[in-house]
Amino acid sequence: MIKIFIGENSGFCFGVKRAIDKAEEIAKHSKVATLGYVIHNPQAIERLKRKGVQIIEDPNNFRSTDLNGTELVIRTHGVRKEMYEQLKRSGLKFFDATCPFVIRSQRIVEKFSSLGYSVVIFGDPNHPEVVGVVSFSKSKNIFVVRKPEEVDNIPFTRKVIVVSQTTQKLDDFTEVVKKVLQKAFEVRVFNTVCEVTVEAQREAKEIAELSDVVMVVGGKMSSNTDKLYKVCKDLVKSYKIETADEIQQEWIQKAEKIGIVAGTSTPDFIIKDVIRKIEEIKRDSAEIIRIGRKNRFSAEHFEWE
């Protein structure tokens, strides 16, 4: 019998689950649209569309008059500050599914930039979460860095705060912080890496150490799946896939211990498909071994200052 290792926190995090559940619930009684992609997984998006949920691909470009009678759901990564304000003014009914971890970053940047701090954000400047967080800054002295070396280009400043995009690797964030220390007299660091992501990366490492080969399952656009892939491939042969159909026989032919690591936006039905496909190729049933412990977070746990 083959062994399959799967993390306890594989698949939807509470932030994604809340957004999807809400959109599906509204779709039962009303027209509903999500502002941007609530989830970076094409198969999950297709399923939502089949359930009647419309996706507004560019949240910066919609006309509220076209949406009369449609309820909106704001994606987990949030939107720009102006958009929140526009929505409140528009009179449209909307549910704000911005993840509490992202709201925390938005509030920190807003508060400290108004107190005269420069802001350094570690992340991808084009990622919707980062674009949204940047829009909360009251100061023009805001710098987004993709890697520690980019901190060298930032001018010396008196006081600065450092935050991270929620899905970055904590170790990489630490490297950025070390560099920023050389760039100001006062440096305040806020660890805004999402703890669910940290937990998932820890699990991925454990799974990679136990396995002969790892399938990292998630959308090609999913930032946290990318980070999980990086964690695994440094330790063992790993393949990044979006669906079970991509698994090739030769990848797992000789493996007896197979790891499955899934991003926070990977739906359960895809994880189940991957298990089925592995059993089919191996012509054997699998013993499923869960790794890690279920995280304790839910949206109700958060009450940021």
Q: Which stretch binds ligand SF4 (CB under 6 A): 11-19, 52-60, 85-93, 130-138?
A: 11-19
Gap between the Cα atoms of 83 and 187, Å rounded: 30
Residue closest to ligand SF4, measured at CB = 15
SS3 218: coil
Active-site position among 129, 199, 203, 242? 129
DSSP, residue by residue, 53-117: EEEES-TTS--GGGGTTEEEEE-TT---HHHHHHHHHHT--EEE---HHHHHHHHHHHHHHHTT-
Is residue 16 within the footprint of ligand SF4 (CB under 6 A)? yes
Is residue 38 within the footprint of ligand SF4 (CB under 6 A)? no
CB of 206 to ligand SF4, least distance (A): 19
Is residue 194 within the footprint of ligand SF4 (CB under 6 A)? yes
Cα atoms in the 13 Å half-sphere on the side-chain side of 192: 29
Question: Is the CB of 13 or the CB of 270 nearer to ligand SF4?
Answer: 13
Neighbouring residues of 96: CB distance < 8 A, sequence distance ≥ 6: 74, 84
Mark residues 61-80: x for contact with ligand SF4 by CB under 6 A, - for none: ---------------x----
Quick check: 5 and 210 in contact, CB under 8 A? yes
* Site residues (CB under 6 A) for ligand SF4, limited to 205-244: 224
CB of 195 to ligand SF4, least distance (A): 8
Cα atoms in the 13 Å half-sphere on the side-chain side of 282: 22
For residue 129, indicate whether it is catalytic. yes
Question: Is the CB of 79 or the CB of 258 nearer to ligand SF4?
Answer: 79
Mark residues 267-296: x for contact with ligand SF4 by CB under 6 A, - for none: ------------------------------
Is residue 264 within the footprint of ligand SF4 (CB under 6 A)? yes
**Alpha-carbon distances of 61 from 21, 35, 67, 177, 272, rounded to whole Å:** 25, 10, 12, 35, 37
SS3 146: coil
Quick check: 225 and 41 in contact, CB under 8 A? no
Q: Which residues form the interface with ligand SF4 (CB under 6 A)?
A: 13-16, 76, 99, 101-102, 166-167, 194, 196-197, 224, 264
Active site residues per annotation? 129
